[in-house]
Amino acid sequence: MTNIQGPAIFLAQFMGDTAPFNSLTSICKWAADLGYIGVQIPTWDSRLIDLEKAASSKTYCDDLKGRVAECGLQITELSTHLQGQLVAVNPAYDLMFDGFAPEHVRGNPKARTEWAIQTLKYAAKASQNLGLNAHATFSGALIWHTVYPWPQRPAGLVEAGFKELANRWTPILNVFDECGVDLCYEIHPGEDLHDGITFERFLEATGNHKRCHILYDPSHFVLQQLDYLQYIDFYHEHIKMFHVKDAEFNPTGKSGVYGGFQGWAERPGRFRSLGDGQVDFQSIFSKLAQYNYKGWAVLEWECCIKDAGQGAQEGAPFIQDHIIKVTERAFDDFAGSGVDEELIKRIIGL
């Protein structure tokens, strides 16, 4: 077993227009002062990284790592959540997701998809140049709008949807393989990959691609009422990234999993700051240690009640307190008598 790395923090939700949240150096210093030792970088924010340049220039990447290291941190992974979303967009969501794309491809779904695919390929090479071994993204969604279907789904729709999704992602996965980087899909409602079964469908559709893996975030499973601990038992071999995010689910006689179109503060299922929700992190960290998870524990702050600054401040010690220093010996070693082959034969009656 190995020790989980951390604490680290995903910078996406903290970037802003004022210091210290408006530049790579200042936000890294802020994170280090709070006790974090790693940062996960969203690649759509040009204040943090020039992704295309990172894909083509090892020198640029060495400088980027150096600037982060000067703040006492290291880069844990890159993220292309927004760009990955655009690899597969059902036309029903074209208008809502166009804002994730650069202006020159908005209103042109074909060009937008091509741009997203190329961006993911840049991310693979950039991750390689930065010496990273995992990358975070979303799968996008072609059939999410049929998740609770009425009328019923036509026969063959699900199979066709996952076949097309795999057709779009397999060339990207191949580039990640060439770069020696695992591509980790955050399993998330709104994506076609939103639980264990859908991940299995996609994995099979890609031919069990060796770089197709999981970013595990238990908060999304709380909101779906899925067993997030058994999920680790089923998929631990594919869990290569971990977002530490809390959530709670408090259904009422008026509203349940679907939330009644209410705002986040009024929904039965809502994200919370670490320690304020219902997620059993002690068991999660124990299971990940048991299954030899080698990656980072990364805070993703999303809370509809607590201020982001307070959430970040509390997050580092929370993660640090939950990281298990794995044992290097069995607790009953003191009673061992060494290997005695003659004694063993006698014990089993030979």
Cβ 301 vs Cβ 339: under 8 Å:
no
As for how many domains the chain has, the answer is: 1
Instruction: Give me the DSSP letters along 34-82.
Output: TT--EEEEETT-TTT--HHHHHH-HHHHHHHHHHHHHTT-EEEEEEEHH
Q: What tens digit of pLDDT does each residue of 190-233 get?
A: 999 999 999 999 999 999 999 999 999 999 999 999 999 999 99
Helix 24-33 × helix 58-70 angle, to 10°: 40
Helix and strand counts by DSSP (H, E) for the chain: 13, 10
Question: For the chain, which residues score pLDDT lower than 70?
Answer: 327, 329-337
d(CA 327, CA 233): 20
d(CA 30, CA 14): 11
pLDDT of residue 332: 59
d(CA 141, CA 139): 7
pTM, two decimals, is 0.95
Q: What tens digit of pLDDT does each residue of 157-181 get?
A: 999 999 999 999 999 999 999 999 9
Tell me, what CATH number does 176's domain have?
Answer: 3.20.20.150
Backbone phi and psi for residue 23, each to the nearest 5 degrees, phi listed first: -155, 160
In the DSSP assignment, the letter for residue 89 is: B
Cβ 44 vs Cβ 84: under 8 Å:
no
Cβ neighbours, 10 Å, residue 102:
10
pLDDT of residue 350: 86
Structure tokens, 252: 């009422």
| Residue 32 structural domain | 5-347
Contact residues for 198 (Cβ-Cβ < 8 A; gap 6+): 187, 192
Instruction: Give me the DSSP letters along 120-155.
Output: HHHHHHHHHHTT--EEEE---BSSGGGSS-SSPPPT
Relative to beta strand 212-216, strand 239-244 is parallel
pLDDT of residue 331: 57
Relative to beta strand 246-249, strand 269-272 is antiparallel
